[in-house]
Structure 1
Amino acid sequence: MPIYGYVCNKCGHSFETLLYANETAVCPTCESTDLDQQLSLIAKPAKAGPAVPMCDGAGGCGRCTPDLCA
């Protein structure tokens, strides 16, 4: 299910929604179907960085405590 962005022509509300191919978007504010679909932007993949060591749950990684890693 892709995420679509819309602006309602009736009330001006801007929103995003998940839709199946056969569904019609409805404004969550006024329930109108008079909508303009907005251009969806695709996020650029992040560059690979250094590997982050896995925490063993004993708090030895320096970033957490045993109660948070367990």
Structure 2
Amino acid sequence: MPIYEYLCDDCEKEFEELVFGDPAVICPYCGSARTGKLMSRCRHKSGGGGDAVGSAVPASSGSGSSCSGCSASSCAGCH
């Protein structure tokens, strides 16, 4: 089951939710049902250890490509 990132439209807090099917997602902070799914930026790991770095951006950001089809060498330009 996938874990998705969400943003609450009321309290503006980000949270993750394990999703089974297509349920209405409720904010765990304020209880609002006004939530929106976020799209995670691509992640990469360069040699030398350490964790990959990435963050979430709203799904409506207008990014037309997905990481799987991206030919860039880094995610610095993905917004």
Q: TM-score range by the shorter chain?
A: 0.5 to 0.7
Letter of the 2:26 counterpart: V
Tell me: CA distance 1:3–1:45, structure 2 relative to 1, closer, same or farther (3 Å): same
Tell me: CA distance 1:38–1:9, structure 2 relative to 1, closer, same or farther (3 Å): same
- Computed over aligned residues only, the root mean square deviation of the Cα atoms, in angstroms, reads 1.9
Structure (1 or 2) with the larger CA radius of gyration:
1
Instruction: Give the deviation of 1:22 after TM superposition.
Output: 3.3
What TM-score do you get using the length of structure 1 for normalisation? 0.54
Q: Which ranges of structure 1 fall in alignment gaps of 5 or more residues?
A: 48-70
Instruction: Give the deviation of 1:45 after TM superposition.
Output: 8.3
Instruction: Give the deviation of 1:25 after TM superposition.
Output: 1.0
Question: Following TM superposition, where does structure 1 have runs of at least 4 consecutive aligned residues deviating by more than 2 angstroms?
Answer: 40-47
- The aligned residue for residue 6 of structure 1 is 6
Letter of the 1:24 counterpart: A
The count of corresponding residues between Structure 1 and Structure 2 is: 47
Comparing both structures, which one devotes a greater share of its residues to strand?
Answer: 2
What TM-score do you get using the length of structure 2 for normalisation? 0.49
Q: Distance in 1 between matches of 2:2 and 2:45?
A: 18
The alignment-based identity, stated in percent, is 32
